[in-house]
Amino acid sequence: MNVSYKINELFETIQGEGSFTGQPSIFLRLQGCPVGCSWCDTKHTWEIDVKDQVPTPDMVNKPQESTTWATMSIDDILSTFNNEGYKAKHVVITGGEPCMEDLTPLCQALEASGFSCQIETSGTFEIRTTDACWVTVSPKVNMKGGYDILSSAMQRADEIKHPVATEAHVDDLKRLLKQHQVEHKPVYLQPISQKTRATELAIATCIENNWRLSVQVHKYLGIE
């Protein structure tokens, strides 16, 4: 199957969020996202512009975040892992909004090559992947893109990771959990932009609801 993906970044690091915090991971960041989160820290992945397409080596080795992306086949991706000497066996597919694409062929190939897979998605697109893939849904409510959170995404989620800065964000999450009947799933609260008030709110809310805290460890460590 000749499947390709638009990749903005491909790098090895430590997963800093959610259930896999501390796990050595290879990140595949896909280009393209119409959701429009105001606090997004990867806005350079939003637009797909052909003038930003570059060869794979230029994308892999770019010195800083940018709008440039490369088209990569599954074989290209696996070859790059090998050529770069990556040791991690956990692959995080993120964006952008990765679920704009059918990720099933990619995850099948990665799993067949000995990798575990994780998808990080806003829950606004159908999640097409393997049964074994770990799905992190970070539901984005009432964003300017106007997309609804899909019930199918909430049901498929292995964990729900919700960015918070205000009580309204907590209320949004509680409504979502009740609406889709997923109160039993692991819930992580992630303070937006590491702000003190957001962090204090997240800690207090986690304790009150027996939820978990995700503090974007990679940003505190100063790594990608």
Residue pLDDT, tens place only, 168-187: 999 999 999 999 999 999 99
39 annotated to a ligand binding site: yes
Amino acid found at 159: E
138 annotated to a ligand binding site: yes
- Quote the CA–CA distance of 77 and 175 in Å, as a whole number: 39
- Quote the CA–CA distance of 191 and 107 in Å, as a whole number: 30
34 annotated to a ligand binding site: no
In a domain, 218, yes or no: no
In a domain, 147, yes or no: yes
In a domain, 200, yes or no: no
- The domain spanning residue 51 has which CATH number? 3.20.20.70
211 annotated to a ligand binding site: no
In a domain, 187, yes or no: no
State the total domains in the chain: 1
- Quote the CA–CA distance of 113 and 121 in Å, as a whole number: 23
pLDDT per position as a tens digit, 145-170: 778 999 999 999 999 999 999 999 99
96 annotated to a ligand binding site: yes
Check if the beta carbon of residue 120 is closer than 8 Å to that of residue 92: yes
In a domain, 93, yes or no: yes
Which of 173, 178, 150, 146 lies closest to 162 in space, CA to CA? 173
191 annotated to a ligand binding site: no
- What pLDDT, on the 0 to 100 scale, is given for residue 194? 74
Cis peptide before 96 (omega within 30 of 0): yes
